Amino acid sequence: MDSTDTFKIILLGESGVGKTCILRRYVDNKFQPAHLSTFGIDFRIKKINVYDRSVKLKIWDTAGQERYHNITKTTFKNADGILLVFDVTDESSFERIQFWMKEIESNLSLDLISLILVGNKSDIKERTISKEKGIKLAESLKISYYETSALENIGIDNAFMDIAKLMLKKNKIVDEDISLVENIKIENDIPKKKSCC
Ligand code: GTP
């Protein structure tokens, strides 16, 4: 008998934020600098272990371009988790998160779905969206915030691990208090003062 839990995850966000690169980094550990925009939809599978359970993630890469929005919306069906992705160097991709959130709310029950906010391209120094701004938006949406770089392989495993934990919890497969790997908080970045004497 296969005791693997299978979940459907969607990568959602504007065109060019790096959804395909995040997927390729996570599944193949590769980064392809320039390639064509995604047409329609595509999915990849990755098996991981969470809380000693085997979990199969079926990860759908959607197309951010407006002309594919209807196809993208059809992938929402039966989704267990969504990574809402923006590019930390692209203000408009950040503002469009609200649009994508409304699409989720009108197509899915927030009680059943696990969501996280992802600011990608954290390797780029000339960013326009600060970590604090990302955290604020995530807090207003009542979800956790992650920063990733598909280029430098930063934060991606943590984001998928945490969404897997959230889905196991939401589906009542585990009932322990989940401890997330990386729930970015501003305090984490404040260097601790060394105590003297
Ligand atoms: P659509 O398929 O059009 O929806 O775009 P997408 O969100 O899948 O973006 P894609 O993965 O195609 O990446 C867009 C561009 O951003 C490419 O030129 C990538 O090389 C670049 N890129 C993606 N992730 C990163 C990253 O973490 N850092 C940097 N510096 N560039 C990245």
DSSP readout, 141-190?
Answer: TTSEEEE-BTTTTBSHHHHHHHHHHHHHHHTTS--S----S----GGGGS
CA-nearest residue, atom 22 of ligand 1: 18
Which residue numbers in the chain have pLDDT < 70?
Answer: 1-2, 34-41, 176-197
Residue 149 C-alpha to ligand 1 middle, in angstroms? 10
Task: Check residue 184 and give its pLDDT.
Answer: 58
Q: Which two tokens stand for residue 164?
A: 């897997």
d(CA 152, CA 54): 27
What would the pLDDT profile of 139-166 be if each residue is shown by its tens digit? 999 999 999 999 999 999 999 999 999 9
User: Which is nearest to 90 in space by CA: 14, 146, 141?
Assistant: 14
d(CA 128, CA 84): 18
Ligand 1 contacts CB of residue 84 (under 6 A):
no
Residue 46 C-alpha to ligand 1 middle, in angstroms? 20
Task: Check residue 55 and give its pLDDT.
Answer: 95
Decide if 161 contacts 183 (C-beta within 8 A): no
User: Backbone phi, then psi, for 192, in 5-degree steps?
Assistant: -70, 135
pTM summary value? 0.88
Task: Check residue 30 and give its pLDDT.
Answer: 93
Please enumerate in sequence order all residues whose Cβ is within 8 A of that of 158, keeping only pairs 6 or more positions apart, or say none: 146, 181, 182
- Which atom of ligand 1 is closest in space to residue 13's alpha carbon? 7
